[in-house]
Structure 1
Amino acid sequence: MKYLAILVFCVAAVSAQYEMAPIVQASFNEVRHNEADILYNIFKSYPGIQARFPQFAGKDPEEIKETAEFAIHAGRIINFISEVLSLAGSPSNLPAVKTLLNQLGESHRIRGITRSQFDDFHKALIGYIQTHGTWNDEISTAWNRVEINMHKILYAALDGHPIN
């Protein structure tokens, strides 16, 4: 009986995660077309993150935010987040989500990016969404649940132990 209760709890937790994905997707879709503004705000909030981008390190965010290079890179980042979030709503897409997050973790591990820097990026992104889109307790809960699961995969890869 105890194992059945644990199984039911696990299934409920996974189901809740997939149910939260549309809320997160809708929230992100409200701001996703502001790619350069999002990255600019992340750089302004956490200058240490900007320093990790060789092409932007040491440059004034005000001067680079209108450049094509900045817009292209911001678009890549936001498109990646959009792709992962669009896949997150279906259990059948879990292998694809794991692949994308494992690749992200591995490529950033090689460059010396830390969990703390990913956490700062996430805080700045959420801060942007809160101030430029709709935000309430339900959206906050949805982002927390989806992000916890995504970060488990990302951080495992960042630590050199991808989850397959």
Structure 2
Amino acid sequence: MEKEQGGREMEHRERADPLSEAERAMILDTWARVYENSEDVGVSILIRFFVNFPSAKQYFSQFREMEDPEEMERSSQLRKHAGRVMNAINTVLENLHDPDKVSSVLGLVGKAHALKHKVEPMYFKILSGVILEVLTEDYPDCFTPEVQRAWSKLMGVLYWHVTGAYAEVGWVQLSSSAV
């Protein structure tokens, strides 16, 4: 732990490994296939996320009480949020060649989730894992072990940027037992 000004302890953040050119190409190639079905894939990701981690629903008043995956699938609010998630990922991927743009986009996502929605940052790490699971299951022919490693690395980069935004706004953890 490092000491922040004022004596508060702050976790030392190691920068995520940058993606190689080959990794970026693999990610963009597989994303092109995924994004063709982005709404359905996004809904699948959020349903799996909320079924496996129901505590995450506390941040969504519009579908907090939904338990049934089929009900979630029919929810226009869940579909709309899934679209926002997939579009944010798409914006990041369209700009992988521009680290400043990636940082800017993910900084906005992180700040909004920290300040406006008060979402615990650990949910981004959990969501990253769910995204990888769903993509690997839904696209087994193109999510080879090598592609999975590249996507895993990408998720680390995304998480690093989002949690950096949390740190920047002085995020204070609300609960240590949210999951």
Q: Given the two structures, how large is their TM-score scaled by the length of structure 2?
A: 0.72
Shift of 1:28: 3.1
Distance 2:79 2:157 in 1: 29
Shift of 1:98: 0.8
Aligned match of 1:75: 83
State the AA in 2 paired with 1:51: Q
How far apart, CA to CA, are the structure 1 residues paired with 2:21 and 2:114? Answer: 28
Could you tell me which residue of structure 1 aligns to residue 122 of structure 2?
Answer: 116
Determine the C-alpha separation between the residues in 2 that align with 1:143 and 1:102: 20
Structure with the larger helix share: 1
Match of 1:54 in 2: 61
Q: Assess if the C-alpha contact under 8 Å between 1:17 and 1:145 holds in 2.
A: no
Report Cα offsets for 1:104-138 as digits up to 9, x if no partner.
Answer: 11111112222321111111111101100132221
Shift in Å, 1:70: 2.2
Q: For each residue in 1:25-65, what CA deviation from the matched residue of structure 2 results, as whole angstroms up to 9, or x when unmatched? A: 23233333223222222222222222322221122242131
1:65 and 2:68 correspond: no
* 2:125 matches 1:96: no
Aligned residues: 146
In 1, the alpha carbon distance for the partners of 2:34 and 2:55 equals 23
**Change beyond 3 A, Cα 1:147–1:36:** closer
Residue 128 of structure 1, aligned match among 115, 134, 151: 134
Measure how far apart 1:23 and its partner are.
1.2
The aligned residue for residue 144 of structure 1 is 152
Bigger relative CO (Cα 8 Å, ≥ 6 apart): 1
1:43 equivalenced with 2:50 (yes/no): yes
Secondary structure of the residue aligned to 2:20 is helix
Q: Judging changes above 3 Å, is the alpha-carbon distance between structure 1 residues 47 and 30 closer, same or farther for their aligned structure 2 residues? A: farther
Q: If the length of structure 1 is used for normalisation, what is the TM-score?
A: 0.77
The 1:46/1:30 distance shift into structure 2, 3 A limit, reads farther
Within 1, Cα distance between the matches of 2:49 and 2:34?
14
Q: What do you get for the CA RMSD once the two structures are aligned?
A: 2.1
Aligned equivalents of 2:147 and 2:158: distance in 1?
Answer: 16
Larger mean Cα displacement after TM superposition, 136-145 or 95-104: 136-145
Are the structure 2 counterparts of residues 38 and 31 from structure 1 closer, same or farther at C-alpha, using a change threshold of 3 Å?
farther
Alignment check: 8 A CA contact 1:106 1:158 kept: yes
Separation in 2, partners of 1:148, 1:70: 25
Partners of 2:52 and 2:167 in 1: how far apart? 25
| Aligned counterpart, 2:29 | 26
How far apart are the structure 1 equivalents of 2:31 and 2:50? 19
Cα distance, 1:67–1:82 mapped onto 2, change above 3 Å:
same
User: Which structure 1 segments of 5+ residues have no match?
Assistant: 1-12
Runs of 4+ in structure 1 off by over 4 angstroms are none
